[in-house]
Amino acid sequence: MEYIDRLPSMDLMRSEKMMLAQLILPVESAHRAVSYLGQLGLLQFRDLNDDKSPFQRTFVNQVKRCAEMSRKLRFFKDQIHKAGLMLSPHPASETDIELEELEAGLAEHEHELIEMNHNCEKLQKTYNELLEFKMVLQKAGDFLMPDGNHSAAQDTELDENVHINSDYADSASLLEPMRHGYGYMQPGMSDQFGVKFVSGVICKSKALRFERMLFRTTRGNMLFNQAPADDPIVDLASNEMVENTVFMVFFSGEQARKKIHKICEAFGANCYPVPEDSIKRRQITRDVLSRLSELETTLDAGLRHRDAALSSIGFQLTKWMNMVRREKAIYDTLNMLNFDVTKKCLVGEGWCPIFAKTMVIFILDIFHNIADSQVGIIFHVMDSNESPPTFFRTNHFTNAYQEIVDAYGVAKYQEANPAVYTVITFPFLFAVMFGDWGHGICLLLGALVLIAREKRLGSQKLGSFMEMLFGGRYVLLLMSLFSIYCGVIYNEFFSVPFHIFGSSAYKCRDATCSKARTIGLIKVGDTYPFGVDPSWRGSRSELPFLNSLKMKMSILFGVSQMNLGIIISYFNARFFNNSIDIKYQFVPQMIFLNSLFGYLSLLIIIKWCTGSQADLYHVMIYMFLSPFEDLGENKLFWGQGVLQVILLLVAVIAVPWMLFPKPFILKRLHTERFQGRAYGILGTSDMYSDDEPDSARHPHGEEEFNFSEVFVHQMIHSIEFVLGAVSNTASYLRLWALSLAHSELSTVFYEKVLLLAWGYNNFMIHLVGLAVFAFATAFILLMMETLSAFLHALRLHWVEFQNKFYSGDGYKFKPFSFASLTDEDD
């Protein structure tokens, strides 16, 4: 016992010792003090205003201002992104600015930018209009006068046209001659016949519906001419290029004109007046072109100006964003604090690891000296009934393993941390299922690439899949190393056996080796020194031997890992001074597991050492069914029968031992305490009164002891353990099953794909076979199999190992720290 206590403490085994600290900060310097603590990042503030909604808190206005500022910053970022500029990744190192200054600056910048955008938009709009006008003018020329010559016979045709026009609804097939007819329309014609026209530009996607609507409203008394516009135009609302269509509608009558204008308006079509006179038209076109080129230069200048302004903002944007994010975090933290009675100080409570106490005090001292305020900051430790948060100090290497454990549940405060063992057992159990040194080398290369690029990859944002791989790079490293090790033992390299450790001990019966699969091999030399003999591959003894080996091995690993779990529960009980758990839980559990499955492991080892032919199934089954019967040829050692009876008896006794005593003892302890409390009540009533209402010191009332509940709980626990001993041991057989599946799969790919392809004497078939083999190896064996072995290893740790000792109902230590403020809101 003393020896155990004298062992050096393991850092990762128990979470850091925590203390509840109270801080009393003068209001005027609270903000800066909190920002110092944020830089240190080792204090987790408790929310003392839990019952208040966010806008009832003290610093709500500041939080709102920060939100407003970050909105402006997002606006800038968006604008910069739209303008196609880059954010400068390294913040400019200028002198610090105050928040008020920044706020004013941001408002100014925003105002400026909005105005510039507004101007740009106005210019762009005019520009678009002119551009559209230009297109309409160009196309209108084609509509009105395709050939440019005036035929003498036009008058008769025109008459025909008007006639056809009125019958338009009846004969749509006459469209062509009509269109042709209008081609000859000449100046002055509209006055003559009362035919007018409206021309303009409409979005291409709406053109068809537009035409249909016009047709319906005028009951077909119109002519719709259209031509695709030459260049797309920038749509101001969505900032995208839009294809447009130039149209020209001919119609007659005042009523129709009104309706057509309304429809144009409704469809958002821009109408432009086009003079019928071609000379006038040419003149206007010239005007428009000159104005267009003028506008273009103005527009360019405006854009350049805006880009300059944006890039000057972009230079500092990252810094400003960081600053605003910090300010917001500080005010959020300040909102968790309470005012004291005098309203001059803020009172805060928070968890802090004990090792950090001196650092916190040191920081606060420095701050006090700098700020030289009248009132110092008071920092003192308080008692607490609440369970402190769990904090493990991990490094690059152990972090991923701790994450694996935390994914199941965060350890209770100071509970034994399974991550300590997981670091080795996890990759090892993975490798038992993934034993192939060829695949292992592939994984190793991948892991080494990730580790070599650690610095570069760590600083950039990765996709979710890469992020996961990168996070688990050290897990991957150990997994690959162990699978190389296991692969050497299994003698598997993409399912090809290799003679690494000397020559094989076996050889074929004849020269052709035809009977290897049916009858077997003959032993000629010494046993193969390390791992599985390569000659067995494909022989009769391969599968029976490997299955027997892997199955027994799985049970040995399982029993030892479960024993480790129960032993850790002993250390937990010792640590928390819980002797009941040791006597009535640890001891019977240990006895139960080892008298059944510990004995099985012993038998396996004896069988291996002696080379006996005993049937272990038979031994185990008849140990329960008829313990007094003679073992016969299955006897492995002297006194086995007696030992079995004793073990069975002990196991049967262990069950009630772990079920009954504990709840009764708890009940007795509780009644003893209750009797003593007759005097205690008066005393405690005083204690309540001087207690601060929102404090963690607040003692929770003595919990009601419900015997039936405790008993049922204990019963469930015991039954789970007893049944679990069987099912968990069986569960470890997955080590065997997955390992078998992996080797069979790789054999299939090697023999049925690669060797089959090599059988042909054709280069193309070789190439195809190689490609299929490479893909199958990469995707099925390296990715899917890795994933499945990973998941099974995960299960073995979470369920079979951790349920022996791990409660995992703690909560994580989340200190207030600027370092952890990443851009989660972007």
Partner 1 sequence: MYGFEAMTFNIHGGYLEAIVRGYRSGLLTAADYNNLCQCETLDDIKMHLSATEYGTYLQNEPSPLHTTTIVEKCTLKLVDEYKHMLTQATEPLSTFLEYITYGHMIDNVVLIVTGTLHERDVQELLEKCHPLGMFDSIATLAVAQNMRELYRLVLVDTPLAPYFSECITSEDLDDMNIEIMRNTLYKAYLEDFYRFCQKLGGATAELMSDLLAFEADRRAVNITINSIGTELTREDRRKLYSNFGLLYPYGHEELAICEDIDQVRGAMEKYPPYQSIFSKLSYGESQMLDKAFYEEEVKRLCLSFEQQFHYAVFFAYMRLREQEIRNLMWISECVAQNQKSRVHDSVVFIF
Are 200 and 252 within 8 A, CB to CB?
Answer: no
Here the tokens at position 35 are 């920002």
To the nearest whole angstrom, how small is the minimum distance from the Cβ of residue 54 to partner 1?
6
To the nearest whole angstrom, how small is the minimum distance from the Cβ of residue 74 to partner 1?
6
Give which of 275, 299, 303 is closest to 287, Cα–Cα. Answer: 275
Are 397 and 474 within 8 A, CB to CB?
Answer: yes
Beta-sheet strands, E only, within 318-377: 338-339, 345-353
Alpha-carbon 370 to chain mean position: 43
User: With binding defined as CB under 8 A, does residue 266 bind partner 1?
Assistant: yes
- DSSP structural state of residue 377: P
Half-sphere exposure of residue 724, counting CA atoms within 13 Å on the CB side? 18
To the nearest whole angstrom, how small is the minimum distance from the Cβ of residue 153 to partner 1?
39
The one segment of 47-55, 331-339, 346-354, 513-521 that binds partner 1 by CB under 8 A: 47-55
* Residue choice 9, 53, 369, 761 for contact with partner 1 (CB under 8 A): 53
To the nearest whole angstrom, how small is the minimum distance from the Cβ of residue 657 to partner 1?
47
To the nearest whole angstrom, how small is the minimum distance from the Cβ of residue 236 to partner 1?
15
Triad 313, 319, 325: Cα angle to 5°: 115
Give which of 282, 349, 327, 253 is closest to 18, Cα–Cα. Answer: 349
CA distances from 299 to 76, 122, 244, 346, 450 (A): 21, 10, 22, 55, 49
User: With binding defined as CB under 8 A, does residue 263 bind partner 1?
Assistant: yes
User: With binding defined as CB under 8 A, does residue 208 bind partner 1?
Assistant: no
Residue partners of 700: CB distance under 8 A and separation at least 6: 385
To the nearest whole angstrom, how small is the minimum distance from the Cβ of residue 268 to partner 1?
8
User: With binding defined as CB under 8 A, does residue 54 bind partner 1?
Assistant: yes
Q: Of the two residues 321 and 793, which places its CB atom closer to partner 1 in the complex? A: 321
To the nearest whole angstrom, how small is the minimum distance from the Cβ of residue 249 to partner 1?
14
**Interaction mask 292-331, partner 1, x per CB under 8 A:** ----------------------------------------
User: With binding defined as CB under 8 A, does residue 55 bind partner 1?
Assistant: yes
* Residue choice 259, 698, 766, 795 for contact with partner 1 (CB under 8 A): 259
Beta bridge partners of 296: none
User: With binding defined as CB under 8 A, does residue 60 bind partner 1?
Assistant: yes
Give which of 813, 816, 802, 795 is closest to 394, Cα–Cα. Answer: 813
* Residue choice 17, 39, 56, 624 for contact with partner 1 (CB under 8 A): 56
Q: Of the two residues 55 and 465, which places its CB atom closer to partner 1 in the complex? A: 55
* Residue choice 111, 209, 668, 812 for contact with partner 1 (CB under 8 A): 209
Sites for partner 1 among residues 404-433 (CB under 8 A): none
User: With binding defined as CB under 8 A, does residue 169 bind partner 1?
Assistant: no
* Residue choice 28, 39, 67, 723 for contact with partner 1 (CB under 8 A): 67
* Residue choice 27, 35, 75, 650 for contact with partner 1 (CB under 8 A): 75
Q: Which 3 state secondary structure label does DSSP give 505?
A: coil
Interatomic CA distance for residues 420 and 406, integer angstroms: 13
The one segment of 266-274, 455-463, 556-564, 809-817 that binds partner 1 by CB under 8 A: 266-274
User: With binding defined as CB under 8 A, does residue 280 bind partner 1?
Assistant: no
Q: Of the two residues 70 and 563, which places its CB atom closer to partner 1 in the complex? A: 70
User: With binding defined as CB under 8 A, does residue 824 bind partner 1?
Assistant: no
Interatomic CA distance for residues 142 and 562, integer angstroms: 90
The one segment of 28-36, 51-59, 572-580, 660-668 that binds partner 1 by CB under 8 A: 51-59
To the nearest whole angstrom, how small is the minimum distance from the Cβ of residue 251 to partner 1?
14
User: With binding defined as CB under 8 A, does residue 368 bind partner 1?
Assistant: no
User: With binding defined as CB under 8 A, does residue 47 bind partner 1?
Assistant: no
| β-bridge pairing 506-507 and 270-272 | unpaired
Interatomic CA distance for residues 773 and 778, integer angstroms: 8
Q: Of the two residues 269 and 345, which places its CB atom closer to partner 1 in the complex? A: 269
User: With binding defined as CB under 8 A, does residue 81 bind partner 1?
Assistant: no
Interatomic CA distance for residues 273 and 257, integer angstroms: 13
Helices in 83-188 by DSSP H: which ranges? 99-144, 154-166, 175-182
The one segment of 178-186, 256-264, 428-436, 528-536 that binds partner 1 by CB under 8 A: 256-264
* Residue choice 11, 46, 49, 68 for contact with partner 1 (CB under 8 A): 68
User: With binding defined as CB under 8 A, does residue 265 bind partner 1?
Assistant: yes
User: With binding defined as CB under 8 A, does residue 213 bind partner 1?
Assistant: yes
Task: Quote the crossing angle between the two packed helices 437-452 and 464-471, to the nearest 10°.
Answer: 100
To the nearest whole angstrom, how small is the minimum distance from the Cβ of residue 213 to partner 1?
6
* Residue choice 117, 190, 217, 394 for contact with partner 1 (CB under 8 A): 217
Interatomic CA distance for residues 190 and 250, integer angstroms: 10
Interatomic CA distance for residues 106 and 79, integer angstroms: 14
Residue partners of 250: CB distance under 8 A and separation at least 6: 182, 195, 196, 197, 222, 223, 225
Q: Of the two residues 213 and 655, which places its CB atom closer to partner 1 in the complex? A: 213
Question: How many residues in the chain?
Answer: 826
CA torsion angle 394 396 397 403 (round to 10): 60
To the nearest whole angstrom, how small is the minimum distance from the Cβ of residue 170 to partner 1?
18
Interatomic CA distance for residues 822 and 826, integer angstroms: 9
Interatomic CA distance for residues 576 and 594, integer angstroms: 25
Q: Of the two residues 63 and 323, which places its CB atom closer to partner 1 in the complex? A: 63
Q: Of the two residues 265 and 720, which places its CB atom closer to partner 1 in the complex? A: 265
What is the distance in angstroms between the CA of the first residue and the CA of the last residue of the chain? 55
The one segment of 88-96, 134-142, 208-216, 469-477 that binds partner 1 by CB under 8 A: 208-216
Q: Which helix (H) or strand (E) holds 765?
A: helix 763-775
Are 718 and 537 within 8 A, CB to CB?
Answer: no
Interatomic CA distance for residues 745 and 565, integer angstroms: 33
The one segment of 96-104, 261-269, 311-319, 719-727 that binds partner 1 by CB under 8 A: 261-269
Here the tokens at position 107 are 């408002």
User: With binding defined as CB under 8 A, does residue 64 bind partner 1?
Assistant: yes
Q: Of the two residues 16 and 327, which places its CB atom closer to partner 1 in the complex? A: 327
User: With binding defined as CB under 8 A, does residue 774 bind partner 1?
Assistant: no
To the nearest whole angstrom, how small is the minimum distance from the Cβ of residue 221 to partner 1?
15
CA distances from 636 to 191, 341, 611 (A): 122, 80, 10
User: With binding defined as CB under 8 A, does residue 230 bind partner 1?
Assistant: no
To the nearest whole angstrom, how small is the minimum distance from the Cβ of residue 209 to partner 1?
6
CB atoms within 10 A of CB 596: 22
User: In the structure, how many helices (H) and strands (E) does the chain have?
Assistant: 30, 13
Number of residues counted as binding partner 1 (CB under 8 A)? 23
Helices in 491-598 by DSSP H: which ranges? 542-575, 579-581, 587-593
Binding site for partner 1 (CB under 8 A): 53-56, 60, 63-64, 67-68, 71, 74-75, 209, 213, 216-217, 259, 262-263, 265-268
